[in-house]
Structure 1
Amino acid sequence: MRFKHYLLTAIFLLLNGCMTQPPIKTVSEVNLQKFMGPWYVIGHIPTFIEKNAFNAIESYELNQDGTIGTTFTFNEGDLTGPLKTYKPKGFVIKDSGNALWGMQFIWPIKAQYKIVYLDEAYQNTIIARDDRDYVWIMSREKKIEQKTLEQLVKKIETDGYDIKKIRWIEHSN
């Protein structure tokens, strides 16, 4: 009986610990046609596959069935390292203004993909997750103006991320 009590207490604390921060708000609306195309990853809190990424580019293509064909390429280890390519598929969540997706690298798992910042010109974006474990600052250009970059980092910090974990990605000229 005592074991059951400890187990239920541990589960309660674990679940409460996972819900300490509110969900991160997405942008209200994303024009998918404008969002499609290549985005340079400027900085990120990386997943395990991209911890040593250089020249990282995420490209999107709207498929006829409404899914998002994604191609993620980068050089591993340094600017001239071997080219790695991943092709996950994005699934836009209904009634999300196209700002919330499920990103599927392997079936049947769909990782959360939230567009939490997107400028009016569709030149800079932030992709985040409610777990605050990964984040991506992306741009249509290889570099972002310093003032803009500082504003994007401030947004990430305000959303509850530890900005000391951001890894900045080098791109070849």
Structure 2
Amino acid sequence: MRVLLLAIMVMTLGGCQSHRHDPISLAENVDIPRFMGDWYVIAHIPLPPERQAWNGIERYDLNDDGSIATTFTFRLGSAEGEKKRYTPTAWVTDDPSNAVWKMQFLWPFKADFRIIWLDDDYQTTIIGRQKRDYVWVMARQPEIDEKTYQAMLNFLKQEGYELSDLRKVPQQW
């Protein structure tokens, strides 16, 4: 039931937000195998189930059929809180950038997810949506330096994101 609610929220809540209609930027030429692995969620405009997330980690694994197994884990409310786990599947839907994905939490609904920032070393990324309603600032380590974080926030502002709902995700291991 929670997965159903999450899928419905992803698909419908974005329509309630005001947003720019300009195309959102995309990372160029994402090397999918290199992108796989663990990403710590540093900050986000969260979906309702993740509003109290701590120690959030998004993991991507490439399946034999080309789909991407996604595992999002976090602790609810504190570093010792209840462990939550979501396992949607993603498909890359553009070529050649590999930056536009469809994420499926529940069949048959697929949500728009886009890699809009990716540094050359594959150490920081931003996953956004064309609607600019949700966003995830992520890194390979549980912390990033303030200069990098501010550059990512400035990028989001330039892309038309309203950052008043952005929440830093506590990473306390």
Same fold (TM over 0.5): yes
Most deviating of 17-26 and 121-130: 17-26
Give identity over the alignment, percent.
43
Give the number of equivalent residue pairs. 158
CA distance in structure 1 between the aligned counterparts of 2:96 and 2:87, rounded to whole angstroms: 23
- Any idea what the Cα deviations from partners look like across 1:137-169, whole Å, max 9, x if unmatched? 000000011000000000011100111210001
User: 1:166 is aligned with what amino acid?
Assistant: L
Normalised to the residue count of structure 1, the TM-score between the two structures is 0.87
Q: Which residue of 2 aligns with 1:166?
A: 166
Give RMSD over aligned pairs.
Answer: 1.6
User: 1:56 is aligned with what amino acid?
Assistant: G
Per the TM alignment, residue 48 of structure 1 is displaced from its structure 2 partner at its CA by 1.0
CA distance in structure 2 between the aligned counterparts of 1:171 and 1:20, rounded to whole angstroms: 31
More RCO (CA 8 Å, sep 6+): 2
Q: Which residue of 2 aligns with 1:128?
A: 128
CA distance in structure 2 between the aligned counterparts of 1:96 and 1:50, rounded to whole angstroms: 32
Query: What secondary structure sits across from 2:152 in the alignment?
Result: helix
Q: Which residue of 2 aligns with 1:152?
A: 152
Q: Which residue of 1 aligns with 2:73?
A: 73
Aligned positions of 1:49-128 closer than 5 A: 49-128=49-128
User: 2:100 is aligned with what amino acid?
Assistant: L
User: 2:136 is aligned with what amino acid?
Assistant: W
Whether 1:138 and 2:127 are equivalent positions in the alignment is no
CA distance in structure 1 between the aligned counterparts of 2:19 and 2:36, rounded to whole angstroms: 33
The answer to whether the 8 A contact 2:129-2:135 is kept is yes
Per the TM alignment, residue 18 of structure 1 is displaced from its structure 2 partner at its CA by 6.7
Which ranges in structure 1 are unaligned for 5 or more consecutive residues? 1-14
- Any idea what the Cα deviations from partners look like across 1:48-69, whole Å, max 9, x if unmatched? 1111100000000000000000
Which ranges in structure 2 are unaligned for 5 or more consecutive residues? 1-14
Higher Rg of the two aligned structures: 1
Per the TM alignment, residue 21 of structure 1 is displaced from its structure 2 partner at its CA by 2.4
Query: What secondary structure sits across from 1:148 in the alignment?
Result: helix
